[in-house]
């Protein structure tokens, strides 16, 4: 389920809005300069759909988003639990930890979730907007926006990523440990 929970940046318990209504989520994010769209879901899409097929199926949407050609690097990131791999728990933790602290990027962080889920926490002024994205959600976090990302303790998603530069994913970490005081993805969706 796609979910938006808005909290005070000083106190996560001070929740001013919690909604699963796509239209309200898009409106609240738009008010704050964040792009959020719902793209139609492919009925035949599975975690096994190849990157080539996925990009081909969404070609018209991707081309429209990239009409000005600003995104030179478009790829697909995937993570899927593999209980048969003894290294999986360590891999999952390493992947999750990477962007779990507050950071910003030099370019917009643009993601389309074709499957699975992940939560962007947008730290805008005195608010934190926890935005749980699920299959069909496109979100664009503007360059310079303070944020962090939680893929949960059992990471599972397929996401199309749009970059202007090859190293556009690199994060500039603020050193602020604010993320530790906010509900995790697991907590948000289990709430």
DSSP 164-177: SSTTTT--EE----
d(C-alpha 171, C-alpha 169), whole Å? 6
User: CB–CB of 39/61 below 8 Å?
Assistant: yes
Nearer to Fe ion, 28 or 109 (CB): 109
Longest dimension (CA), the chain: 45
103 labelled as ligand-binding?
A: yes
Q: How far is the CB of 148 from Fe ion (least distance, A)?
A: 7
* Window 1 to 60, contacts with Fe ion (CB under 5 A): none
Size of the site for Fe ion (CB under 5 A): 1
147 labelled as ligand-binding?
A: yes
Q: Which residue in the shown chain puts its C-beta closest to Fe ion? A: 109
Nearer to Fe ion, 109 or 150 (CB): 109
Nearer to Fe ion, 28 or 108 (CB): 108
80 labelled as ligand-binding?
A: no
Q: How far is the CB of 30 from Fe ion (least distance, A)?
A: 20
Cα–Cα nearest to 125, from 4, 3, 8: 8
**Tokens encoding 20:** 């699963």
Site map for Fe ion, 103-132, x if CB under 5 A? ------x-----------------------
Q: How far is the CB of 52 from Fe ion (least distance, A)?
A: 26
109 labelled as ligand-binding?
A: yes
Quickly count: other Cβ atoms within 10 Å of residue 30's Cβ: 11
Nearer to Fe ion, 49 or 171 (CB): 171
- Numbered residues of the known binding site: 103, 105, 109, 147
Binding site for Fe ion (CB under 5 A): 109
- Numbered residues of the known binding site for Fe(2+): 103, 105, 109, 147
């Amino acid at each position: 389920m796609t979910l938006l929970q808005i909290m005070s940046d000083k106190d996560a318990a001070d929740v001013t809005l919690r909604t699963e209504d796509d239209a309200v989520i898009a409106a609240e994010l738009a008010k704050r300069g964040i792009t959020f769209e719902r793209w139609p879901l492919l009925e035949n899409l599975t975690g096994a759909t190849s990157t080539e097929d996925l990009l081909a199926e969404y070609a018209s949407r991707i081309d429209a988003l990239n009409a000005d050609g600003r995104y030179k690097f478009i790829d697909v990131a995937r993570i899927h639990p593999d209980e048969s791999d003894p290294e999986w728990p360590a891999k999952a933790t390493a992947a999750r930890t990477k962007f779990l602290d507050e950071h910003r990027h030099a370019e917009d962080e643009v993601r389309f979730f074709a499957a699975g889920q992940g939560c962007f926490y947008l730290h805008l002024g005195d608010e934190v907007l926890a935005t749980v994205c699920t299959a069909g959600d496109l979100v664009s976090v503007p360059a310079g926006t303070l944020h962090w990302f939680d893929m949960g303790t059992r990471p599972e998603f397929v996401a199309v990523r749009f970059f202007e530069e090859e190293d556009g994913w690199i994060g500039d970490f603020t050193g602020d440990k604010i993320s530790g005081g906010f509900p995790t993805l697991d907590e948000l969706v289990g709430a």
